[in-house]
Structure 1
Amino acid sequence: MIRLFDFSFALLGLVFGFPVLLLLTIIGLFDTGSPIFRQERVGRHQKPFTLVKFRTMRPETASVASHLANSDDITQFGQFLRKTKLDELPQLWNVLKGEMSLVGPRPCLFNQSELIHERQERKVFEARPGITGLAQVNEIDMSTPALLAETDQRMIESLTLSAYFSYILQTVLGKGRGDRIR
Structure 2
Amino acid sequence: MENKKIHINEERLNHQYFYRTTKRVFDIIASIIALIILSPIFLVIAICIKIDDPRGPVFYSQVRVGKDGRQFKMYKFRSMVVNADELLAKLKSANEVNGAMFKIKNDPRITKVGKVLRKYSLDELPQLVNIVEGSMSIVGPRPPLVSEVKEYSNYDKQRLMVKPGATGMWQVGGRNDVDFDEMVRLDLSYIQKRSILLDLKIMFETVKIMIKPNGAY
* Deviations, residues 34-64 of structure 1 (Å, cap 9, x unaligned): 1111000001111100000001111111265
| 2:215 paired residue among 161, 177, 180 | 177
Structure 2 match to 1:164? 199
Q: CA deviation at 1:124?
A: 2.0
Of the three residues 11, 23, 31, the one matched with 2:44 is 23
Contiguous gaps of at least 5 residues in structure 2: 1-21, 89-100
Give how far 1:143 is off. Answer: 7.2
The number of residues matched between the two structures is 177
Percentage identity across paired residues of the two chains: 30
Q: Distance in 2 between matches of 1:142 and 1:96?
A: 30
Q: Which moved more, 1:15-24 or 1:61-70?
A: 61-70
CA RMSD after TM alignment: 2.1
- Partners of 1:116 and 1:5 in 2: CA distance: 32
- From 139, 142, 153, the counterpart of 2:174: 139
1:41-80 equivalences under 5 Å are 41-62=64-85, 66-67=102-103, 71-80=107-116
Q: Tell me, yes or no, if structure 1 residue 100 matches structure 2 residue 123.
A: no
Mapping 1:28-43, distance limit 5 Å: 28-32=49-53, 33-43=56-66
Compute the displacement of 1:140 (Å).
4.1
2:188 match: 153
Q: TM-score when scaled to structure 1?
A: 0.88
> Residues 154, 104 of structure 1: CA spacing in aligned structure 2 closer, same or farther, 3 A cutoff?
same
Letter in 2 for 1:31: D
Write the deviation string for residues 97-136 of structure 1: whole angstroms up to 9, x where unpaired.
010011000011011133464432xx22121100111111
The answer to whether the 8 A contact 1:115-1:142 is kept is no
Q: Which residue number corresponds to residue 87 of structure 1?
A: 123
